[in-house]
Amino acid sequence: MPLFPRPARRTRSGDLPIQPWRFRFLLVWGLLLASSLGLLVNLGRLQIVEAADLQERAQEQQTALVRPFIPRRPITDRNGVVLAVDQPVYLMYAHPRMFTLPPQQVAAQLAPILDRPVDELLQTFSQAETGVKVAIDLPEAIAQQIQRLQLDGIDLEQQQERLYPQQELFAGVVGYVNDDRQGQAGVEFSQQKVLERSAPDLRLRRTGDGTILPIDLPESFLYADTLRLQLTLDSGLQRVARTALQEKLKAFNAKRGTVLVMDARDGALLALVSEPSFDPNRYYEAPMELLKNWALTDLYEPGSTFKPINVAIALEAGAVEPQTVLPDEGEIHVDGWPIRNNEGVAYGSLSVSEAVKYSSNIGMVHMVERMKADVYYDWLERIGLGKPVGIDLPFEGEGQVRSRQEFVEAKINRATTSFGQGFSLTPLQLLRLHGTLASGGLMITPHVVQGLIDENGKSQWQPTLPDAKRIFSAKTAQAVVEMMEQVVKDGTGKPAQIPGYRIAGKTGTAQKASPYGGYSNAVITSFVGILPVEAPRYVVLAVVDEPTGGVVFGSTVAAPIVKTVMEALIVTEGIPPTSTR
The pLDDT tens digits for 533-550 are 999 999 999 999 999 988
pLDDT of residue 68: 56
pLDDT band of 4, cuts 50, 70, 90: very low
Could you say which of 190, 235, 274, 304 is catalytic?
304
pLDDT tens by residue, 82-108: 999 998 888 999 999 999 999 999 999
pLDDT band of 497, cuts 50, 70, 90: very high
pLDDT of residue 10: 52
pLDDT of residue 581: 41
pLDDT tens by residue, 318-358: 999 999 999 999 999 999 999 999 878 899 999 999 999 99
Whether the pLDDT of residue 11 is over 60: the answer is no
Contact 510, 304 (CB under 8 A): yes
DSSP state of 424: B
Higher-confidence residue: 88 or 495?
495
Catalytic residue status for 304: yes
Pairing relationship of beta strands 75-76 and 228-231 according to DSSP bridges:
parallel
pLDDT of residue 58: 67
Whether the pLDDT of residue 405 is over 50: the answer is yes
pLDDT band of 530, cuts 50, 70, 90: very high
Whether the pLDDT of residue 205 is over 70: the answer is no
> What's the burial of 250, exposed, middle or buried (CB within 10 Å: 0-12/13-18/19+)?
exposed
Whether the pLDDT of residue 219 is over 70: the answer is no
pTM of the model: 0.81
pLDDT of residue 506: 97
pLDDT band of 519, cuts 50, 70, 90: confident
Lowest mean pLDDT among 244-248, 508-512, 523-527: 508-512
Whether the pLDDT of residue 200 is over 70: the answer is no
pLDDT of residue 476: 97
Q: Which of 562, 580, 563 minimizes the C-alpha distance to 500?
A: 580
For residues 5-22, average pLDDT: 57
For residues 539-564, average pLDDT: 95
Q: d(Cα 373, Cα 355) in Å, to the nearest integer?
A: 21
Task: Let me know the angle formed at the C-alpha of 79 by 75 and 82, rounded to the nearest 5 degrees.
Answer: 35
Contact 185, 292 (CB under 8 A): yes
Amino acid at 581: R
pLDDT of residue 146: 92
Lowest mean pLDDT among 19-28, 243-252, 391-400, 538-547: 19-28
E strand map for 277-357: 325-328, 331-334, 337-340, 348-351
E strand map for 298-406: 325-328, 331-334, 337-340, 348-351
Lowest mean pLDDT among 155-159, 193-197, 198-202, 447-451: 198-202
Higher-confidence residue: 297 or 53?
297
